[in-house]
Structure formats: C-alpha cells, structure tokens
C-alpha cells in the first residue's frame, strides 16, 4: 500500500519533496500555487528540475497536484466561469511541468441553478479544456460531501459528467472517504463499502478509480458537511478503515491523507495509524 499526505509548498516548491520524504511518504499531494488566490507564481525552470531530481532520488510516486479552491466550472456567473476555465488550463499545465501523475479536481457548484444546469456547464467546460490541451496526466474528478449546491456528492452525477465528456480517456475518479460518508454512503461497515463500490463500478467503472483521499469524518452519516478527522477517530472509525485499506479493489491504489494538522507530528501519527491497518 502506498500512503502519503498533502504537503506544503512553502518556500521553494522542491522543498515539498523533502517534507514528504521526512514524513516517510510513498506518495504525496500538493497545490502548485496558493489555493485561495487567482495569482500565480511562475514555476522557474531550475526549481522544477530540482523538484524532479529530488522526487526521483526519494523514489516517491505518484505525485498529485490538487486544484485551487476558487475554480468553479459550474458557475452561472460568466466572468467567473471563463476565469475558471482559463485557470484550470493553467493549473493542468503547471502540474504537467512538475511531472505530476494526477490532477485532482472538485466538481463545481451550480449556485442554485440546479443539477442539470451545473452538470451541463461542467461538461461544456471540460470539453473546451481538453480541446485546447491534451493532458499527459489523468484528471481525477473527486466526489464531494454535497454541502449547499455543490455537485458530485453521488456517483450518478459524476457518471453524467463523464458520459458527456468527448475525451473521457483523460479523466478518472478520486474517492474521498470522508466526503462519501458525509454524502450518505455508509462505508463504516463492510456491506456499505461493497454497495458503494458496486455503484461506482456500474456507473463509472472501478477501473477508472485511481486515487483514494483517506480521511475520517467528524460529521455523521449523510450530514452533507465536509469535516475531516484523524484516521480511526471519526465516524468511519478504525473498523471502517480496516475494510477500506484491505478491500481488494482499493488496496493497491495510492492513499493520500488530508487529515487535520492541529499539532506537530499529526501527519506521522495518521500515516502510522493507516499503515497499521493493512493485513
């Protein structure tokens, strides 16, 4: 089992590799820039080369880049929609420059215009994006908890998006365990996990699942509230993660932890906790 965490890119971007290595990660995830700003900092050639060099020396793979939070491909506001498409393209290019394997993206928020409208906007945007670039990495659509008018909290919605994409070969799925539980999938027990994976297989295909965001949930089943908790200390619990970590369809996939960072050493503790569950 390959396990890692989301690490900071503070300082020089290649320092993220050092942080991942120090934590004992087999894989890791980063933002390629500030996730809460439209401003981007140029990826300098020397820094990119150093990033790739250190990653190769550390033998860490895969590397995942996560989309910034401001991007919304379902926005009904034309200016934000167009800006989101442009930023999405730029961020894919940045991920490719770094040699990332996967680009994880949230689905989008229709802001009250309805599911059908939002899905149509997302499909149009993704088709426009892949018409302009031919990604060398996989774009992974991440399921959501479904708070407010956020899309992607069930796999039927994600399947509808994938069905509308002309170049579906560029896309795959990232499964977030906390989001799934908060959205109403009872993966805290073995039966519920099997049922969810059956749904994914029937609607999208388990062969399209490339990455697990392994997070426990602070909130109850079906709350639609996105609050992550340390592995085994939330509502999914230790027993639930035993099933998740050892499921035959999941155990060979990379696991990225996005657990709380309230104190020093918490990433190390969570990495130890999830590795201890592997049979």
DSSP assignment, residue 33? S
Q: Count up the domains in the chain and report the number.
A: 1
Q: Residue 256 maps to which CATH number? A: 3.20.20.150
For the segment 117-146, the average pLDDT, to the nearest whole number, is 97
Give the percent of the chain with pLDDT over 70.
Answer: 100
* DSSP state at residue 207: G
Q: Can you give the residue range of the structural domain that contains 71?
A: 3-275
Q: What is the C-alpha to C-alpha distance for residues 207 and 9, in angstroms, rounded to an integer?
A: 31
pLDDT at residue number 263: 86
Segment 119-134 mean pLDDT: 97
pLDDT, tens digit, for every residue of 205-222? 999 999 999 999 999 999
Distances (CA, A) of 260 to 184, 216, 229, 264: 22, 10, 6, 11
- The average confidence (pLDDT) of the chain is 97
pLDDT, tens digit, 9 for 90 and up, residues 45-87: 999 999 999 999 999 999 999 999 999 999 999 999 999 999 9
The answer to whether residue 262 scores a pLDDT higher than 90 is no
In this predicted structure, the answer to whether residue 15 has a pLDDT above a threshold of 90 is yes
Contact 170, 92 (CB under 8 A): no
The mean per-residue pLDDT over the stretch 134-161 comes to 97
Asked if residue 149 has pLDDT above 90, the reply is yes
């Amino acid at each position: 089992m390959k396990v890692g965490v989301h690490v900071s890119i503070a300082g020089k971007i290649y320092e993220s590799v050092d942080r991942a290595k120090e934590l004992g990660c087999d894989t890791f995830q980063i933002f390629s820039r500030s996730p809460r700003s439209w401003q981007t900092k140029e990826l300098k050639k020397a820094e990119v080369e150093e990033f790739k060099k250190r990653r190769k020396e550390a033998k860490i793979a895969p590397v995942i880049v996560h989309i910034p939070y401001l991007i919304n491909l379902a926005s009904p506001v034309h200016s934000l929609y167009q800006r989101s498409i442009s930023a999405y393209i730029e961020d894919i290019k940045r991920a490719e420059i770094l040699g990332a394997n996967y680009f994880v993206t949230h689905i989008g928020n229709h802001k009250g215009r309805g599911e059908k409208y939002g899905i149509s906007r997302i499909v149009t945007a993704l088709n426009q994006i892949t018409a302009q670039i031919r990604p060398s990495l996989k774009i992974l659509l991440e399921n959501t908890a479904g708070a407010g008018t956020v899309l992607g909290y069930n796999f039927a919605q994600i399947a509808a998006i994938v069905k509308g994409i002309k170049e579906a070969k560029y896309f795959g799925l990232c499964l977030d365990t906390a989001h799934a539980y908060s959205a109403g999938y009872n993966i805290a027990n073995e039966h519920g996990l099997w049922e969810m994976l059956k749904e994914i297989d029937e609607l999208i295909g388990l062969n399209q699942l490339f990455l697990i965001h392994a997070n426990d949930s602070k909130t109850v089943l079906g709350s639609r509230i996105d609050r992550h908790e340390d592995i085994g200390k939330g509502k999914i619990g230790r027993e639930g993660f035993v099933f998740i970590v050892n499921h035959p369809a999941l155990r060979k996939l990379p696991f990225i932890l996005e657990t709380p960072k309230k104190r020093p050493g918490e990433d190390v503790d969570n990495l130890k906790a999830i590795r201890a569950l592997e049979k």
